[in-house]
A and B are shown apart, each in its own frame.
Chain A
Amino acid sequence: MSISTPTPAEQIARSRQRRSPLAVPQSKAWRTILAGVVLLLSLAVVILISLCWGAVSLSRVELWQAALGQGSVINQTIVWELRLPRVVAALVVGSALGMAGALLQGMLRNDLASPTVLGVSSGAGLVALTLFSLGIWPGLIPLGAWFGAVVTTLLVYLLAKQGTRLAVERLILAGVAFSTLFGAIQSILLLFSRESRTQSALNWLVGSLNGRGWSEMQFAGPGIAIALLLGCLLARSVNLLNLGDELAVSLGSPLFRTRCFVGAVATFLAAGAVSIAGLIGFVGIIVPHAVRLMVGNDYRWVLPYSALAGALLLAASDLVARLGAVEIPVGVVTSLVGAPVFIVLLNRSSRPSLSRN
Chain B
Amino acid sequence: MPLSLQQLSGGYDQQTIVENIDLTIQPGEWLTLLGANGSGKSTLLKLCSRILMPQGGQVILDGKAIHQQPAKAVARRLAMLPQQQLAPSGLTVEQLVTMGRSPHQAWWQWELDTAGLVQVDQAIAWTELEEYRDRPVSELSGGERQRAFLALALAQNPTVLLLDEPTTFLDIHYQLQLLELLKQLNREQGLTIVAVLHEVNLAARYSDRLAFLKQGQLYDVGSPEAVLTPRHLRDVFEVEVALIDTPVGRQICPLAAVLPQAESAPPIASQVVLGV
Contact = CB atoms under 8 A, between A and B. Distances in A.
B75 A251 contact: yes
Interface in A291-319: 292, 296-298, 300
Contacts of A247: 80, 82, 85-86, 149, 152
Interface string A333-357: 0000000000000000001111111
Contacts of B105: 236
B95 A355 contact: no
A264 B177 CA distance: 45
Contact of A354 (B80, B89, B133, B136): B89
Nearest to B91: A297
Nearest to A15: B131
Contacts of B13: 162
Interface string B51-78: 1010000000000000000111111101
Which interface class (under 10, 10 to 19, 20 to 34, 35 or more) fits B?
Answer: 35 or more
Interface stretch (A75-83, A141-149, A237-245): A237-245
Contacts of A12: 131
A18 interface: yes
Nearest to B94: A28
B270 to A, nearest CB: 44
A179 to B, nearest CB: 26
A170 interface: no
A356 B87 contact: yes
Contact of B87 (A18, A162, A252, A357): A357
Which interface class (under 10, 10 to 19, 20 to 34, 35 or more) fits A?
Answer: 35 or more
Contacts of A354: 89
A249 interface: yes
A228 to B, nearest CB: 16
A254 interface: yes
B139 A2 contact: yes
A305 B58 CA distance: 44
A10 to B, nearest CB: 10
In the complex, which of the residues A164, A236, A251, A254 has the most CB atoms of chain B within 10 Å of its own CB atom? A251
Interface stretch (B96-104, B195-203, B221-229, B259-267): B96-104
Interface string A1-30: 010010010011001001000000001100
**Minimum-distance CB pairs A-B, first 10:** A252-B75, A250-B80, A252-B103, A252-B72, A296-B90, A246-B82, A297-B88, A297-B90, A244-B86, A297-B91
